[in-house]
Structure 1
Amino acid sequence: MPRMTMIEALRDAMDIMLARDPGVLVFGEDVGYFGGVFRCTAGLQAKYGEERVFDTPINESAIVGMAVGMAAQGMRPCVEVQFADYVYPAYDQITQEAARLRHRSNEMFTCPLVVRMPTGGGIFGGQTHSQSPEALFTHVAGLKVVIPSTPYDAKGLLIAAIEDPDPVIFLEPKRLYNGPFYGDHSGKSVGWRQHPAGEVPEGHYSIGIGKADIRREGAEVTILAYGTMVYIAEAAVEQSGIDAEIIDLRSLLPLDLETIKTSIEKTGRCVVVREATRTSGFGGELIAEIQEACFWHLKSPLQRVTGWDAPYPHATEWDYFPGPDRVARALQTAMED
């Protein structure tokens, strides 16, 4: 089985879908001739032409608005917002148009649209290139929200997203593009870069949106994580020696509550780990779901490890991120019955 980075896996998914379906289009800022700021679309315009893969003006609202119209007419646009931080001008088009189209038209129209965007920090991009806005989309009925953590998942989930009849927000952790890593406050990489690629099958395959992955089986505590935080959780388990079960959510909306319930009914404890700020984030929603579904199985209070409730810090981003030390402390707290 070939090995690919996440960038290569995403490009392979778009390549396969462009070849399979003439209605698939790829467009956004710099995705054509240049191949995208992270090179995810490199070579696709040369292969499929400027009518299938093309550049747009710096206008996110227009990019998504045009894609909604195309999707309503039966095309399958896969658009790139260059950074998740840039999506706010398009938020109206995503939430008021794309998310509602099926329902407001009484299913006369659907909106098979994918909005890809790099999310999270770790590249010293500062406040306007490092945000994690997933909670803004999980609140919106009519959307699906996906965050892969491996090249295998990235390809399979992106193919599933392009084939889906409804709009999918596809968030790509930029710290995982060329292999998972974390660093210190100087920006020095101190982990995981030695495994930049993962095994990815050739050809077409898809992973069902809404199904979590049990990355590590364990008996003492359940860790819920997604994106880069899956690797932080793995490092924390290794550091703490606690027999934790790690669940990579992969899909935030819809959420695989059954897998979560089964795990917590077994372990009786839970730690939620995510990169975004703490207040009003998706971690709070996970905790509410667990309280409702698993309260009588819990042996200790639920724990959250998150980013700070502060504007994204540039110089101290490695302190801002949940790291293995912070997650390991939360695991130990969860073990105190």
Structure 2
Amino acid sequence: MSGQSSMSRLEQRYRLLLRLLPAAYREMWQEEMVTTFLASMHTDDPEQADYLADYGRPSWPEVASVAALAVRLRVPGWRMRLGGTGAPPRNVVWGDAVRLAALIGLLGSATSVTGSLTNLLWLTGRAPWLPAPIPEADYVLHTPSFRAATIASLIWLPAYLALLFGQRRVCQLLAVLAVVTAGAALVLDHLQPLTISTVAYAMFDVALVLALLAFHRDAPPPRRRPWLLALAIGITIQAGLPLTQPTDPHTFPLLDWPAICCLALVIAATTHLAGWKRRTPSWSLALALLAAAILSLRTLTLTDYVHAAPDAQRSTLLTLGILETGAVLAVAVTLATLANRALRRLPARA
């Protein structure tokens, strides 16, 4: 206790930062690294030294260097856990499942380019098949947040294509760029308050970027033709969705993005479960992972209905949202049970 109490807050913050590193590495090098970091903050001014001891923090370059080291140390372990060369059969299934889930999520983001372009055409009055644009259209078009959000949605398509054509690094960089650009749109949008829903969407995209790390150099490339066909189908479906949206901008759509995800997942899960002779543990696990993510997204976005939906719509939207949540939960439990049984039948070691 005496050693802990004599530790300055600055030293505590450095030790907290070093927890990014694997435990074995910390045990060997933590004391030396902490001493080096503290020495770099040393000053002969007693007042400045006292201030730094209480309020000093690791600099951004130090944080970045520790984070980069953590990635370099942990990547080999991630590869093995996600189906790298020589990985156990269970890890191979996990790796295939995470890659499938990431690819499906990336597919959904890539098809959203159609909605963004349609929205752009609508606001500029170049979509005669849609209702007249809102009076504030010209103002919306020139806001930095709208431009950033549109650019972010456009980046997902080349990211998806890069992955299909073997450019995994390019895909991962573009996905990070899309998430950062979408985050900038949230920061720049002064008219819309930060809500639980906007945070949920952002976390969904961050989870997708992290899942794309499963496409390491030992991972098998995805089959190009079926995923290109899925892209064409998804874009076609997205092109027709604006026709289902309400003409009044203050009215909530019955079929919002989380609802579309719920519907697509239930259809995919039902198809997968019906073809029991051909289903694989990887697909069961991948759909279960997607179900968990979509369930979280749908549950969190229900707050929009509670706080912002018109009174005339609120009960209908909440009822539909609860039904969607129940359907996804049902298929999630079923898929997770099947995947768990399949994994338990596999040997734990190669």
Given the two structures, how large is their TM-score scaled by the length of structure 1?
Answer: 0.29
Query: Higher relative contact order by CA 8 Å / sep ≥ 6: 1 or 2?
Result: 2
Q: Which structure has the greater CA radius of gyration?
A: 2
More strand by share: 1
Given the two structures, how large is their TM-score scaled by the length of structure 2?
Answer: 0.29
